[in-house]
Amino acid sequence: LKIVTVPTKPFEGQKPGTSGLRKTVKEFQKPNYTENFVHAILAAVASVDKLEKSVLVVGGDGRFFCPEAVQIIARMSAAHKVGKLLIGQRGIFSTPAVSHLIRKNTALGGIILTASHNPGGPDADFGIKYNISNGGPAPDGFTNKIFELTKSITEYRTVPNLKIDLEKLGLQKFVVEGNAFEVEIIDSVTDYVLLMKQIFDFDAIKKLIAGQAPHKKPFNVVFDALHGVTGPYVKKIFCEELGASNDSALNATPLPDFGGEHPDPNLTYAHKLVSVMKEGKHDFGAAFDGDGDRNMILGKNGFFVTPSDSLAVIAAQSNLIPYFKQNGVKGFARSMPTAGAIDRVAKEMGKEFFEVPTGWKYFGNLMDANRLSLCGEESFGTGSDHIREKDGVWTALAWLQILAAQPDISVEQLVTKHWEKYGRNFFTRYDYENCEDAAAKKMMEQLTNLLNAPDTVGKEFLDGGRTFKISKADNFSYKDPVDNSLAENQGIRILFVDGSRIVFRISGTGSTGSTIRLYGDCYEPDLVKQKMDAQVILKPLINVALQLSKLQEFTGRKAPTVIT
3-state DSSP assignment of residue 343: helix
Residue 351 to residues 77, 213, 334, 421, Cα–Cα distance (Å): 43, 34, 13, 17
293 near Co ion, judged by CB under 5 A: yes
Residue nearest to ligand VG1 (CB): 116
Looking at 362-410, list the stretches that DSSP marks H as alpha helix, in order from N- to C-terminal side.
364-368, 392-404
508 near ligand VG1, judged by CB under 6 A: yes
Among ligand VG1, Co ion, none, the one that 335 touches (CB under a kind-dependent 5 to 8 A) is ligand VG1
For residue 390, the minimal CB distance to ligand VG1 (Å) is: 7
Number of residues that bind Co ion (CB under 5 A): 5
358 near Co ion, judged by CB under 5 A: no
For residue 33, the minimal CB distance to ligand VG1 (Å) is: 20
Question: What distance in Å separates the CA atoms of residue 70 and residue 90, rounded to the nearest whole number?
Answer: 9
Q: Which is nearer to ligand VG1, 19 or 54 (CB)?
A: 19
Among Co ion, ligand VG1, none, the one that 377 touches (CB under a kind-dependent 5 to 8 A) is ligand VG1
Residue nearest to Co ion (CB): 116
Supply the Cα-derived Rg of the chain in whole angstroms.
23
Helices (H) and strands (E) in the chain, counts: 18, 27
389 near Co ion, judged by CB under 5 A: no
* Residue from 54, 116, 318, 511 binding ligand VG1 (CB under 6 A): 116
3-state DSSP assignment of residue 405: coil
335 near ligand VG1, judged by CB under 6 A: yes
Question: What distance in Å separates the CA atoms of residue 227 and residue 239, rounded to the nearest whole number?
Answer: 17
Query: What DSSP character marks residue 139?
Result: P
Spacing of C-alpha 453 from chain mean position: 35
Q: Note whether 75 and 158 are within 8 A (CB).
A: yes
358 near ligand VG1, judged by CB under 6 A: yes
Q: How many CB atoms lie within 10 A of CB 348?
A: 12
Q: Name the active-site residue from 54, 99, 116, 188.
A: 116
259 near ligand VG1, judged by CB under 6 A: no
* Residues 168 to 197 in contact with ligand VG1, rule: CB under 6 A: none
The interface region with Co ion, picked from 26-34, 116-124, 151-159, 548-556 by CB under 5 A, is 116-124
Q: Which is nearer to ligand VG1, 204 or 225 (CB)?
A: 225
The count of C-alpha atoms lying within 13 angstroms of the C-alpha of 517, restricted to the half-sphere facing its C-beta, is 21
Residue 138 to residues 16, 85, 462, Cα–Cα distance (Å): 10, 19, 44
431 near Co ion, judged by CB under 5 A: no
Q: Which is nearer to ligand VG1, 433 or 463 (CB)?
A: 433
291 near Co ion, judged by CB under 5 A: yes
- Could you report how far apart the first and last alpha carbons of the chain are, in Å? 52
521 near ligand VG1, judged by CB under 6 A: no
Q: Which stretch of DSSP H or E encloses residue 143?
A: helix 140-152
Task: Note if 94 is an active site residue.
Answer: no
Number of residues that bind ligand VG1 (CB under 6 A): 18
For residue 304, the minimal CB distance to Co ion (Å) is: 19
The interface region with Co ion, picked from 41-49, 278-286, 291-299, 462-470 by CB under 5 A, is 291-299
Q: Note whether 166 and 185 are within 8 A (CB).
A: yes
Report angle CA 373, 376, 380 to the nearest 5 degrees.
145
Q: Note whether 446 and 557 are within 8 A (CB).
A: no
* Residues 285 to 324 in contact with ligand VG1, rule: CB under 6 A: 289, 293-294
Question: What distance in Å separates the CA atoms of residue 243 and residue 348, rounded to the nearest whole number?
Answer: 36
511 near ligand VG1, judged by CB under 6 A: no
Residues near Co ion, by CB under 5 A? 116, 289, 291, 293-294
Residues near ligand VG1, by CB under 6 A? 18-19, 116-117, 289, 293-294, 335, 358-360, 377, 379, 381, 507-509, 517
Q: Which residues are part of the catalytic machinery?
A: 116
